[in-house]
Structure 1
């Protein structure tokens, strides 16, 4: 069945290396990257500049304010109450994030909600019966365009970009199945044969969709010599219980391996225990917060770090990996009020290595806007800052973010606020040729 990454396929050209995310919020991100695996050579990338357009994407009901992401309120629920306002009862108002699942327009009216992944609805993974068509989308037409673009001598990369860049998760899934039915060859194999370099990496990862794309990246993170620790951090931490279930089931189905055992073999000591906590998939997802528990957690975090000789890593991990997003937002707000340093500053001073980078990923997501928008905008810049572009990081961060289009619009707005130019313009200055056009098309479609 198409859409599943093939573990027998050769590696895609990776970037210059891997490393941590850097210092805490307010400081400059660390740009040092170590070499952890065999890496290919990307195409040359001379400067390129085109006046950027104004980002105007945004569906009705999803407001934007100075680059800030304001999630839509829960379905038929009350308006969110801002942090800092004392609740009228022991339980605070429900968190507005994530929004209630809304069926894809083409499958509206079906029983039950579609599964959600990276904040959007996705087609139900096997063993569910796959969709064969979508109302309002002509998959046969797009499949024929791809066939013509890859037929004969030479490849029409522009047509491939024009077909793939606008598609959502449902459309990409149906196109992949339709193409394989028409041509007798998977879309992924066709793209791998016809393309090369970073444009191949970009369009292949895009064609896999949200879930299969993450599974492909997970397999890559654990394959070969060395572990790509930043991939493990970004794909496995901060996930919903539903997402973690799909990742574990999908990894077993596609690669015949247990994800927990695979990750365990790549890590050691306390970092291994931290990821085991995340992989358990038992995170609290209640939309309510308890102020008394929040105050207790703030004090526990302090006593586990600055408040003692040595650091109690497991106590810190236990709180940051098990509490709900709304609870972590409240902790991130109250911690500096009680102890005069931010949560991320405490983590940066008390931890080191991969564990520090992973816990900073969680802390930065809870700070600022509280939904990771500010963090993700900074991480996009970190992939392009300094000498040399970390191409693979830039690509998968853009593609993974773009599936949730309202949120990606907020990330682009926040990027411009933080770094003084549009994400489109920044990417154009770091890439060239069809590789540039592919990423710009993905950015502009949101």
Structure 2
């Protein structure tokens, strides 16, 4: 297994549930995949540099298509205490002007002291770093990030980047940045340099709630001083660009809105009409799959499968390349009977390890992103053990990785 050179001498500008590669080999346009670009110190939770986002709530959203009256298109529902439910877990609202208070009963100073001991002097105590960082949730990690800077005058991510390397460094980065910060970093990673990492864009930007998408856009601007929508559009072209432009508008029906069965039947009819072989109406298909709520799309997938072949088969017959992968990712979120996206995410994790050689970068970000919602991660592991690898995910990861990188992944996965 090759370990990349992350380039600690890179400029210090700040960094941040998944492509349809459960469906086959990655497309050839993934140039240079697995060799991350020079890394950049700082972190989302640290609020480094950049430009402050506009104050206030997201702008009012415009109605799209023909939603039922109760769908309530518009701004995300108010978050309690200014916090956000992101990837299924409550996290500090981005970008935090002030550090969030430490979680009750958590001693951030003890964690900081443990990290200091692990990184002092000659050599690094990787075992201590793993034991300290792996168990932290998003709130605890946020508290440790700020307490480390207040106590030592150093940036935690920069310190760890100087003390570690390779894929061990990569998984520590994912942990330190937290769920929102790491997703922003991944979007930047996907669009930086030659070529676009389409699978990262699929997994980070598709199937997001309006609140999550708005938060990603604000956090990206805060960290990089640029408009995320323009950056993503600049890396894509033609109808794939239009697909992602639709997804970035924060115009989805909210998942808490009741499902209108009349609109479900209407969408099934529209999808069948749009999928007509020669002359496919790609934009109509994209608009339905990107703008409807997840429960609505599950009802559409169920009804579509009763009337004709499965929705995923329609996508495969009508699309190709990145567009096909992106739409398959959306469809895989809602097809099946289990919790939304659990089967999809388990398949994607397996795709990171299947075949010749481990796709380490994919394995890192798929496991790191999944582990924040611990209850859902248990569902993914249960599905994985029941249908993909009988000895379980930890056993699979153990056989595909090595060294401190393996030990950190196993600490995140658990038994």
The answer to whether the superposition gives a TM-score over 0.5 is yes
TM score, norm. by length of structure 2: 0.83
**Any stretches of 5+ residues in structure 2 without a counterpart?**
1-8, 37-67, 72-76
Is the Cα–Cα contact under 8 Å of residues 236 and 244 in structure 1 kept in the other structure?
Answer: yes
Task: Report Cα offsets for 1:328-349 as digits up to 9, x if no partner.
Answer: 010111111001x110111011
Partner SS state of residue 294, structure 1:
helix
Which of 181, 202, 219 is matched with 2:188 structurally? 219
Task: Report Cα offsets for 1:360-390 as digits up to 9, x if no partner.
Answer: 0000111012500011000110110000110
Q: Please state if 1:360 is matched with 2:328.
A: yes
CA distance in 1, matches of 2:271, 2:339: 18
Which of 8, 12, 28 is matched with 2:11 structurally? 8
Tell me by how many angstroms 1:10 deviates.
9.6
CA distance in 2, matches of 1:186, 1:134: 21
Is the Cα–Cα contact under 8 Å of residues 7 and 255 in structure 1 kept in the other structure?
Answer: no
CA distance in 2, matches of 1:439, 1:22: 21
Is the Cα–Cα contact under 8 Å of residues 22 and 31 in structure 1 kept in the other structure?
Answer: no
CA distance in 1, matches of 2:327, 2:196: 18
- Corresponding residue of 1:442: 412
Partner SS state of residue 21, structure 2:
coil
Tell me by how many angstroms 1:299 deviates.
1.2
Which of 134, 140, 144 is matched with 1:165 structurally? 134
Which of 142, 146, 157 is matched with 1:188 structurally? 157
Tell me by how many angstroms 1:129 deviates.
2.9
Tell me by how many angstroms 1:35 deviates.
4.4
Tell me by how many angstroms 1:37 deviates.
2.8
- Corresponding residue of 1:301: 271
Tell me by how many angstroms 1:292 deviates.
1.1
Distance 1:22 1:427, change over 3 A: closer
After TM superposition, the structure 1 = structure 2 runs for residues 287-436 of structure 1, keeping only pairs within 5 Å, are 287-305=257-275, 307=276, 309-339=278-308, 341-368=309-336, 369=338, 371-419=340-388, 420-436=390-406
- Corresponding residue of 2:6: none
Task: Report Cα offsets for 1:391-433 as digits up to 9, x if no partner.
Answer: 0101100010000000000000001111123000000010011
Partner SS state of residue 346, structure 2:
helix
Is the Cα–Cα contact under 8 Å of residues 188 and 207 in structure 1 kept in the other structure?
Answer: yes
Which of 116, 122, 131 is matched with 2:85 structurally? 116
- Corresponding residue of 1:198: 167
Partner SS state of residue 208, structure 1:
helix
Distance 1:192 1:142, change over 3 A: same
- Corresponding residue of 1:238: 207
CA distance in 1, matches of 2:20, 2:383: 22
Aligned residues: 365
TM score, norm. by length of structure 1: 0.77
Task: Report Cα offsets for 1:154-202 as digits up to 9, x if no partner.
Answer: 0000100101100000000000000111111111001100001100001
CA distance in 2, matches of 1:11, 1:33: 30
Tell me by how many angstroms 1:282 deviates.
1.0
Task: Report Cα offsets for 1:27-46 as digits up to 9, x if no partner.
Answer: xx3366654137549xxxxx
CA distance in 1, matches of 2:121, 2:10: 28
CA distance in 2, matches of 1:239, 1:11: 23
CA RMSD, 1 decimal: 2.6
Q: Which has the higher contact order (CA 8 A, sep 6+)?
A: 1
Q: Please state if 1:21 is matched with 2:24.
A: no
Task: Report Cα offsets for 1:264-292 as digits up to 9, x if no partner.
Answer: 11000000000000000110014311111
After TM superposition, the structure 1 = structure 2 runs for residues 93-132 of structure 1, keeping only pairs within 5 Å, are 112=81, 114-132=83-101
Task: Report Cα offsets for 1:132-174 as digits up to 9, x if no partner.
Answer: 4331000001101100100000000010010110000000000
